[in-house]
Chains A and B, each alone.
Chain A
Amino acid sequence: MEIFDIFLLETVLNGVLFGGVLALLALGLNLIFGVIDVVWICYAELMMIGMYTVFFLTKTFGWNLFAAFAAAIVVVSVLGVLLHVLVIRPVLDSEPINQLLVTGGMLTFMQAAATLAFGIEFRNIGVSMPSLVLGEISLPWSRISAALTALVAMVLLWLFLKKTYLGTAIRAISQDRGIMPLMGVSPARIYLTTSAIGGALAGLGACLLVLQYDVHPAIGLSFGPLTFMVCVLGGLGNMLGGFIAAFIFAQLISIGGFYFHIEWGYVMAFAFFIVMMFVRPQGILGGKS
């Protein structure tokens, strides 16, 4: 095989791994949209706070990495609940666009507050992981473990939604939010649970990203828009669709970056998103609604 193809293959594999992480990020957002019918524009900013949590717990307080991970997941999950109670709940019955805008306000708020509190420096937790070398291809373990964790988390979430009572209630409410209260399910409680799970998934995403990227207040902007695009492309609320869309997006960025420049990868991905919105506005797997 020519050397050129090896690099291309490495790019594709890296794209697959990146797709795994994107899929996990999209999963939490999708769950929240499917159940509460609200898009958390500030989802990636919650993740940024999770990354800071890991950073400070390990670097400043000398915690064990995994303990810090657990703490970050709990912190972001609590933030998710607070976001729902303080910000989303008051506008739950107003126009849908207001719900988008309040979380947009939270995006600005969290990003600026993080700048205020932590400064604009890039911080790295300084955990370096070796790469897996297969012949001439080398793949960083941080990416492989991230993609694997994402896969496991997705399977667990799927089992939770399919097999448990609470999961069934969550799925039911996302299908018909009008009828469920009549069946004795309290939507308020389900919304809280969903926000907690969505927050926890953002926290998990933070743990995976902090191994690969430096933390800085604007990091949410590199992942946030991408995450919504993945969700919308997959059909908001459709988790399998989001999964597939994550891999398509990751490949576009990865291959576009390989042939041209990483920004062109993003341009291609976003342009593809816009075109797909016109071709299949209901998402790649969405049914006609």
Chain B
Amino acid sequence: MISRNWIIATLLLACVPLVVSSLYVMHVLVTLLIWGFIYTGWSLMGRFGLVSFGHGAFMGIGAYVTTLLWNLQGISPWIGIPLGMLLAVAVAVLIGYPCFRFRITGHYFALVTLALTEVVRSIIIALRDTTGGSLGITPTSALKDGATWSLTALQCSDKRVFFYAALVIWLIGIWIWQRIDRSMMRHAMQAISQEEDAASSVGVNVTRAKLTITVISAAMTAFGGALYSQYQQYINPETVASLGVSLQMVFAVIAGGMFVKLGPTVGAVFTLLLTEGLRVGIGNQINSLDSTIYGLMLVLFIIYMPNGILGKLMERKRASRLQPA
């Protein structure tokens, strides 16, 4: 049942570019799918109580490694993206292993990962001669002499190409989520998030389970960061590697619902509609109104709706189903 619905939904989504010609709508959809993928990556950890503020670091590593290798060494993103992911995974292990080994959880885990984001952001700014510092950096364009696409540079002026690429990647993200959701690891992680000592006493390898999840999550986020830089053709430390980005991920995932498969994507839809709605409705002059509302809503969501929009809806549905007719 579910898989048939999924195929229909995917086909419908895939038809969108054939019907819609508006560049703006395409842009919103591509952005949505990229963030949906990143948020899904974050929620892999978040749903098991590993609240990380370090995903800004992973995203920044993915975006900057890819862009810098291309700009400085002319290394194609085909190689640059895996290298960026590899570096992000290495950093994730370097930070994650001791954290999990020494049982650093909750507040402390959040603060260690926050420090990680600050380290990466400060390094990017400190290396301003190569990274462009706070001003950001643009991948060197390979689209010269009227070329509309370049396979080696992974650049393309046609948004539809990015749409299909992002759609496939987003589906892979959802598939990873589902694989983990149906694996033994999910049970192990759930046990760990409830009571670590009890879980380890029944034979769960706590460090290994957490590390596996962290590595998958970091790799996805780094990949999303690289994709973001390829699509936007501009990155700076504030947009890909700051505490602000990390908080944005947390907010979107909490708004959508981190315990359900499509929750993070719903969060991406919700935040993007909010931002774009305000931009279209009020204009560009008041540029921090969206963040003001985000911040306030994050607070309200945590107080009144900790399972998120989709989580709440599904709860309702389940409750009404259980009610005798």
Contact = CB atoms under 8 A, between A and B. Distances in A.
Contact of B299 (A97, A109, A273): A109
Contacts, number: 138
Nearest to A278: B98
A240 to B, nearest CB: 20
B134 to A, nearest CB: 10
A191 interface: no
A59 B242 CA distance: 33
B112 interface: yes
A271 interface: yes
Interface in A249-264: 260-261, 263-264
Interface stretch (A7-15, A197-205, A224-232): A224-232
Nearest to B95: A274
Interface stretch (A112-120, A128-136, A160-168): A112-120
B20 interface: no
A221 B57 CA distance: 16
A263 B125 contact: yes
A104 B297 CA distance: 11
Interface stretch (B35-43, B145-153, B285-293): B285-293
Chain A interface, DSSP helix/strand/loop, else mixed: helix
Contacts of A225: 114-115, 118, 243
Interface string A269-289: 011011001100100000000
A158 B247 CA distance: 35
B62 to A, nearest CB: 19
Interface string A216-257: 010001000100110010001000000000000000000000
Q: Say which size band chain A's interface belongs to.
A: 35 or more
Contact of A105 (B95, B242, B298): B298
Contact of B247 (A39, A104, A217, A278): A104
Q: Say which size band chain B's interface belongs to.
A: 35 or more
A266 B288 contact: no
A107 B297 CA distance: 12
B295 A232 contact: no
Interface string B283-325: 0001111111011111100110010000000000000000000
Given A225-B114, A274-B116, A281-B102, 5 more contacts: A87-B303, A91-B302, A112-B295, A225-B115, A267-B126
Interface of A: 39, 87, 90-91, 94-98, 100-102, 104-113, 115-116, 217, 221, 225, 228-229, 232, 236, 260-261, 263-264, 266-267, 270-271, 273-274, 277-278, 281
Interface of B: 49, 51, 95, 98-99, 102-104, 106-108, 110-112, 114-116, 118-119, 122-123, 125-126, 242-244, 247, 250-251, 254, 286-292, 294-299, 302-303, 306
25 contacts: A39-B111, A90-B303, A95-B49, A98-B302, A98-B306, A101-B254, A105-B299, A108-B251, A109-B291, A109-B292, A112-B288, A112-B294, A115-B288, A116-B289, A225-B243, A263-B123, A264-B122, A264-B126, A266-B122, A267-B123, A270-B115, A270-B118, A278-B98, A278-B99, A281-B102
